[in-house]
Amino acid sequence: MTKNERLESPGLRFREAMQKENPLQIVGTINANHALLAQQAGFNAIYLSGGGVAAGSLGIPDLGITTLEDVLTDVQRITNVCDLPLIVDVDTGFGPSAFNVARTVKSLIKAGAAALHIEDQVGAKRCGHRPGKEIVSKDEMSDRLKAAVDARTDDQFVIGARTDAFASEGLEKTIERAIAYKEAGADFIFAEAVPDINLYQKFVNATGIPVLANITEFGMIQMYTVDELKKAGVELILYPLSAFRAANKAAQNVFEHIRKEGTQAHVLNTMQTREELYTSIGYHDYEQKLDNLFKKNNDVNK
């Protein structure tokens, strides 16, 4: 990688975003359109949720069913139109071996992602806020991280370690895992489903690297504010599916109104207008490009 390529890498942009904004708010963008909306709202980093890919793109539960190719499709669609640094949920790495993890890392970098987090659940993983989660050994997860770090073709690419151990092992053992994951090369710790805000500082103190708080709705976490989380030592705040949930509820409402009333007239005020959509996706710029191109060609042919 040349010096210029490194300066332009998504991984470096993610690291710069962490320096620019502390704590860094990271919003989930289920598709390329939402990525553009997040950028226009002023966010400095975005996120692609594994659960979002499963539910939003495939209509299936987040139970380890999706593949690397499923995720890459959405990654590429987002990075093709939005230059905000994108962090990607890769579940357990999309395969049992170090070579599977390596393929995942290399593929994400090639697709334009800036960062990932990989977790210590078993391959048949579950949502982090559901019961019945099973985790692999500390050593096995450390090996996943070592494989990920070794596979980086861009040393600025950011690798996060998610641990789901709190529910089954408690605080002390989970912190031991976090320390081991840092030693294996993790750039940040994602302590999933840790419900007490006062515990985040313990992870910060123990590891000395950034800690991510997952402020997901309808789970085990309260809707803590940025200021509250900053005081707790959190440097990364994730809102993985907020817009997705809102969009789903809005779609359900529109469908029900059309079906019951035979018209969408009474829910127009809940919709993005045509002009708002055109502004978001740059429709007029595309149209102007076509007009200029064909005008130039027509002038040449005269």
Active site (annotated) includes residue 117:
yes
Annotated catalytic residue, options 15, 34, 144, 162: 162
Active site (annotated) includes residue 287:
no
Residue 131: other Cβ atoms inside 10 A:
7
Phi, psi of 58, deg, nearest 5: -115, -15
Cα separation of the two ends of the chain: 47
Active site (annotated) includes residue 139:
no
Active site (annotated) includes residue 91:
yes
Active site (annotated) includes residue 200:
no
Active site (annotated) includes residue 284:
no
Active site (annotated) includes residue 127:
yes
Q: Is the peptide bond before 61 cis (omega within 30 degrees of 0)?
A: no
Tokens for 126, please give them. 């579950």
Active site (annotated) includes residue 192:
yes
Active site (annotated) includes residue 130:
no
Annotated catalytic residue, options 44, 47, 74, 82: 47
Q: Which residues make beta-bridge pairs with 190? A: 162, 212
Exposure string of 15-45, with b = 16+ CB inside 10 Å and e = fewer, is: bebbeebebbbbbbbbbbbbbbbbbeeebbb
Annotated catalytic residue, options 127, 154, 235, 239: 127
Annotated catalytic residue, options 15, 192, 235, 239: 192
- Residue indicated by tokens 């994951």: 181
For 156, the 3-state DSSP assignment is: coil
Q: Which residues are annotated as a binding site for substrate?
A: 49-51, 127-128, 162, 192, 214-216, 245, 274
Q: Which residues are annotated as a binding site?
A: 49-51, 89, 91, 127-128, 162, 192, 214-216, 245, 274
Q: Computed from CA positions of residues 148, 149, 155, 157, in that sequence, does the dihedral angle turn out positive or negative?
A: positive
Annotated catalytic residue, options 31, 33, 44, 91: 91
Annotated catalytic residue, options 117, 129, 144, 177: 117
Annotated catalytic residue, options 15, 214, 235, 239: 214
Q: Which residues are annotated as a binding site for Mg(2+)?
A: 89, 91
Annotated catalytic residue, options 31, 34, 44, 119: 119
Tell me the catalytic residues.
47, 62, 89, 91, 117, 119, 127, 162, 192, 214
